[in-house]
Amino acid sequence: MTQTARLYGGSLYDLAAEEQLTDTMMQQMAEVRQIFCENPDYLRLLGEPSIPKQERTKLVEDAFGAQAERYLVNFLKLLCERNLLGEFSGCCDEFTRRYHADHNIAEAVVTSAVALSESQMEALKAKLEKMSGKQVSLIQKRDPSVVAGLRVEMEGKQLDGTVQSRLSGISRKLNEIIV
């Protein structure tokens, strides 16, 4: 995350907190981020220097003005005017980081070979919340190289219960014995 994204995202969070709009803004920023991810051509259009800034900000107003919180629309227009819309994702990350810190939420990335069921996710979430003393937001990723088991990354720590990790550990021990 760039310093610019940290500064802008943090400023937007401060404003949202002051206006008691953090929950609404958090949800709407995720939706806008998703729209930008699904429509990269639209994002490129908003950053096109050959189109006058006034026209580009009008596109933002037309797209989001009626649905999104006014502060968020103005924020998007500001980023557009300053040719910083490419920083929006980082701004979202900073906003989310501050939101999680203020609401005692830890984000955990769970990697497994296959998708976990809803009941497995709930059980894992409950266990992680008990361990951390925080509310946990789970993000699930799939990686076939994991083979079996789970790898959880949360707050800079990694809990690796994958078969791949166990086999690596056994291999290391065998190499130590042989050498």
Predicted pLDDT of residue 1:
78
Q: Could you tell me the two tokens for 18?
A: 């002051």
107-127 average pLDDT score:
89
97-110 average pLDDT score:
91
How many separate helices (H) and strands (E) can be counted in the chain?
8, 4
Predicted pLDDT of residue 156:
80
156-161 average pLDDT score:
79
Beta carbons of 69 and 28 less than 8 angstroms apart: yes
Radius of gyration of the chain (CA): 21
What long-range pairs does 18-26 form, CB within 8 A, spacing at least 24? 19/71, 21/69, 21/71, 22/99, 22/102, 24/69, 25/69, 25/71, 25/72, 25/95, 26/95, 26/96, 26/99
Domains of the chain in start order, with CATH, are 3-100 (1.10.520.20), 104-178 (3.40.30)
Predicted pLDDT of residue 173:
77
* Cα 102 to Cα 140: distance, rounded to the nearest angstrom: 23
Predicted pLDDT of residue 163:
65
* Whole-number average pLDDT of the chain: 89
* Cα 16 to Cα 71: distance, rounded to the nearest angstrom: 8
* Cα 114 to Cα 51: distance, rounded to the nearest angstrom: 45
155's enclosing H/E stretch is none
Q: Confidence band (pLDDT; 50, 70, 90) for 158?
A: confident
pLDDT reading at 179 higher than 70: no
The rounded percent of the chain whose pLDDT value lies above 70 is: 95
The rounded percent of the chain whose pLDDT value lies above 90 is: 52
Q: Could you tell me the two tokens for 75?
A: 């924020």
* Cα 110 to Cα 116: distance, rounded to the nearest angstrom: 9
What is the residue type of 8? Y
42-49 average pLDDT score:
89
Q: What is the CB neighbour count within 10 angstroms for residue 130?
A: 9
Predicted pLDDT of residue 80:
92
pLDDT reading at 47 higher than 80: yes
Q: Could you tell me the two tokens for 24?
A: 């609404």
The SS3 assignment for 75 reads helix
